[in-house]
Structure 1
Amino acid sequence: MDTITNPIVHDTRSYKSDQYVRWCPGCGDHAVLTCLHKAMVILQIEPHNLAAISGIGCSSRLPYYMNTYGFHTIHGRGAAVATGVKVAKPELSVWLTTGDGDSLAIGGNHFIHTIRRNVDINILLLNNKIYGLTKGQYSPTSDRGFVSKSSPYGTVEDPFHPIELALGARGTFFARCIDIDLKNTTDAFVQAEQHKGTSVVEVLQNCVIFNDNIHKEIVDKAYRDDRTILLKQGEKMIFGANMDKGLVRDGFNLKVVTIGQDGYTIEDVLVHDATTQDNILHLKLGLMAPENGFPVAIGVIRNVEGLCYDQEVKKMIDDVQVKTKVRTLNDFLMSGEVWEVK
């Protein structure tokens, strides 16, 4: 009699470790962890085929709370370790959890070159615009004039915009989400994993201790609908509490209009296409901000195809192994130019 074996169906318990979660109550890291667990359930990836990597920072404790392989590495070097893991074991789903300080300051070089190489890993960039673990210094994403323990009179520098770095490095996937928006955050994580190449997901996250309400101007329910726009592939870019506002082209720029006023109709509103190679449009969408009269773009902004570094390395190795005559260590030592000393 044939035995019918049913595939294992995982729930969130399959991906949770037995460790007590050590983050401050109310920290956005809790929501990110929950969304990652939910995304894994949707994707049904076997826990032993997952690797959670991190650098240093509050968010970098996440690997402890995943029932998977993992590395808690050193400051700013998580992307380098994640690259090594993916090249060594291409079959693994690799997730790098990092903060705006960890990845954009000391780790900035690794961040841009990982994206440039298009290594097939998922980077969760938790952006709370502060160094939380070291108790409240300004970070590379802190706004000009920001007062902190390391800038008591305000910063005198402009911040990085993560999407500028990602697209400047020819990134193939960029998404943005809000920590308290569990549904769309989970969806962004799922799409990041389904993308082949480096996926960057910027999570606008709150630090309740050292930078509370830093994203309040867009996440507060009183005006979130008017100050954010959820981009969906193939759908009109409309937003607002009454869903009556839209984005249209104005020459080489974008413009916010009210549908039904000043001659604008729904037909004039742009349709979102994350798959177009036009990274200039994606950059314009990613840089929108309320202070410029635009809503902040949430969702998958860019999702294009490209060659993956890890797969190209594997192809090269396979090709060399077929062609080479070297089969043993002695073959290697005796290959090339050799000579005997007497």
Structure 2
Amino acid sequence: METVLKKVSHEIKDYKSDQYVRWCPGCGDHAVLSCLHKAMVALQLEPHQVAVISGIGCSSRLPYYMNTYGFHTIHGRGAAVATGVKVAKPELSVWLATGDGDSLAIGGNHFIHAVRRNVDINILLLNNKIYGLTKGQYSPTCDRGFVSKSSPYGTVEDPFRPIELALGARGTFFARCIDVDIKNTSVIFADAEKHKGTSVVEILQNCVIFNDDIHKEIVDKAYRDDRTILLKQGEKMVFGTNMDKGIVRDGFSLKMVTIGQDGYTLEDVLVHDATTVDNTLHLKLGLMDPKDGFPLAIGVIRNVDSLCYDQEVEQQIEDVQSKTPIRSLNDLLMQGEIWEVK
């Protein structure tokens, strides 16, 4: 009699651990965790085939709340450990939970090299523009002039812009989302996992204690539709409460227009293509800023194919092994000239 194995359909509870979630009430990390659970349900990943890595920071507690393999590492080194996990166990789906302080300060070097190598990992970069765990110091993404406990008179430096850093390191996937947008954030996480290579997802996240409402001018429902644009592959770059605004080319720059005014029609509006190898337009889209009259781009901004570091390492090992007679440690020790001492 033939045995029929039924396919297991995983639910959100299958990805939740039994640990009490220890984040401040109202912290954006709660939403990110929920979105990750939802994305894994959509992808139907096997919990034992998932590894969640983190460094140090509030966001780095995330592995405790996943019913998967997890590794809470040291400050800024999450990307290095995630790389090692993926190379050692390429069949795993590897996620890195990190913050703007953890990943872009002490961990900056590991971050850019993971992106440059195009290791097949998913980097969830939670950006609340503050060091929350260490009680409110300014981070590498804080705006110039930001007043904090470590900059009481205001910072005198310009911040990193994550997309600029990622694309400068030849990144193949970059997306942006906001913590309160559960629906789109879950979809973006799933898109990141489907990408073969390093996926960087910047998440605009709120810290209710040390940097409350830092993203309010962008994410508040009262004006979110007019200050953000959700980019979708193959669709016109249209946005606004009435969906009557669009992004067009203006020479070598971009321009925000109102459709039907000043001679602009829907035909003039750009169509989003995240798969273009040239990242010039992707960078321009990612750097749009409401302060300059543009909407902030969310969604998958860049998604191109390229060779993956872990796959190349695996193939290289197979190639070398096929050409060498060494099959064991004893073979290695006995190669070349040997002698016996009596």
Same fold (TM over 0.5): yes
| 1:98 alignment partner AA | T
| 1:124 alignment partner AA | L
Following the alignment from structure 1 to structure 2, what is the Cα–Cα distance between the partners of residues 174 and 11?
Answer: 27
Following the alignment from structure 1 to structure 2, what is the Cα–Cα distance between the partners of residues 41 and 214?
Answer: 31
Equivalent residue runs for 1:294-313 within 5 Å: 294-313=294-313
Alpha-carbon offset, residue 337 of structure 1: 6.7
Q: 1:221 aligns to what?
A: 221
Partner secondary structure for residue 210 of structure 1: coil
Q: 1:79 aligns to what?
A: 79
| 2:292 alignment partner AA | N
Equivalent residue runs for 1:258-277 within 5 Å: 258-277=258-277
Following the alignment from structure 1 to structure 2, what is the Cα–Cα distance between the partners of residues 149 and 240?
Answer: 37
Counterpart check, 1:44 vs 2:38: no
Q: Output the TM-score relative to the length of structure 1.
A: 0.98
Name which of structure 1's ranges 331-340 and 110-119 shifts more when overlaid on structure 2: 331-340
Alpha-carbon offset, residue 216 of structure 1: 0.5
Provide closer, same or farther for how the CA distance between residues 224 and 336 of structure 1 changes in structure 2, counting only shifts above 3 A.
farther
Query: Any idea what the Cα deviations from partners look like across 1:213-233, whole Å, max 9, x if unmatched?
Result: 000010111111110000000
Provide closer, same or farther for how the CA distance between residues 337 and 268 of structure 1 changes in structure 2, counting only shifts above 3 A.
farther
Provide closer, same or farther for how the CA distance between residues 101 and 330 of structure 1 changes in structure 2, counting only shifts above 3 A.
same
Q: 2:194 aligns to what?
A: 194
Counterpart check, 1:163 vs 2:163: yes
Query: Any idea what the Cα deviations from partners look like across 1:144-188, whole Å, max 9, x if unmatched?
Result: 000000000000000000001100000000000000000010010
Following the alignment from structure 1 to structure 2, what is the Cα–Cα distance between the partners of residues 329 and 139?
Answer: 48
Equivalent residue runs for 1:111-150 within 5 Å: 111-150=111-150
| 1:128 alignment partner AA | N
Following the alignment from structure 1 to structure 2, what is the Cα–Cα distance between the partners of residues 89 and 149?
Answer: 42
Following the alignment from structure 2 to structure 1, what is the Cα–Cα distance between the partners of residues 155 and 336?
Answer: 57
| 2:64 alignment partner AA | Y
| 2:16 alignment partner AA | K
| 1:142 alignment partner AA | C
Partner secondary structure for residue 201 of structure 1: strand
Partner secondary structure for residue 95 of structure 2: strand
Following the alignment from structure 1 to structure 2, what is the Cα–Cα distance between the partners of residues 142 and 337?
Answer: 61
Q: Output the TM-score relative to the length of structure 2.
A: 0.98
Equivalent residue runs for 1:22-101 within 5 Å: 22-101=22-101
Following the alignment from structure 2 to structure 1, what is the Cα–Cα distance between the partners of residues 125 and 88?
Answer: 23
Q: 1:280 aligns to what?
A: 280
Alpha-carbon offset, residue 93 of structure 1: 0.1
Q: Percent identity?
A: 83
Q: 1:240 aligns to what?
A: 240
Equivalent residue runs for 1:163-182 within 5 Å: 163-182=163-182
Following the alignment from structure 1 to structure 2, what is the Cα–Cα distance between the partners of residues 10 and 138?
Answer: 40
Alpha-carbon offset, residue 305 of structure 1: 0.1
| 1:103 alignment partner AA | S
Q: 2:256 aligns to what?
A: 256
Tell me the matched-pair count.
Answer: 342
Provide closer, same or farther for how the CA distance between residues 2 and 295 of structure 1 changes in structure 2, counting only shifts above 3 A.
same
Provide closer, same or farther for how the CA distance between residues 21 and 331 of structure 1 changes in structure 2, counting only shifts above 3 A.
same
Following the alignment from structure 1 to structure 2, what is the Cα–Cα distance between the partners of residues 266 and 125?
Answer: 34
Alpha-carbon offset, residue 278 of structure 1: 1.9
Following the alignment from structure 1 to structure 2, what is the Cα–Cα distance between the partners of residues 222 and 84?
Answer: 44
Structure 2 residue runs without a partner (length 5+): none
Partner secondary structure for residue 311 of structure 1: helix
| 2:142 alignment partner AA | S
Following the alignment from structure 2 to structure 1, what is the Cα–Cα distance between the partners of residues 303 and 198?
Answer: 10
| 1:148 alignment partner AA | S
Query: Any idea what the Cα deviations from partners look like across 1:188-241, whole Å, max 9, x if unmatched?
Result: 000000000000000000000000000001011111111000000000001111
Following the alignment from structure 1 to structure 2, what is the Cα–Cα distance between the partners of residues 257 and 307?
Answer: 38
| 1:78 alignment partner AA | G
Partner secondary structure for residue 249 of structure 2: strand
Partner secondary structure for residue 53 of structure 1: strand
Query: Any idea what the Cα deviations from partners look like across 1:102-135, whole Å, max 9, x if unmatched?
Result: 0000000000000000000000000000000000
| 1:114 alignment partner AA | A
Q: 1:319 aligns to what?
A: 319
Following the alignment from structure 1 to structure 2, what is the Cα–Cα distance between the partners of residues 320 and 338?
Answer: 24
Partner secondary structure for residue 175 of structure 1: strand
Following the alignment from structure 1 to structure 2, what is the Cα–Cα distance between the partners of residues 69 and 336?
Answer: 42
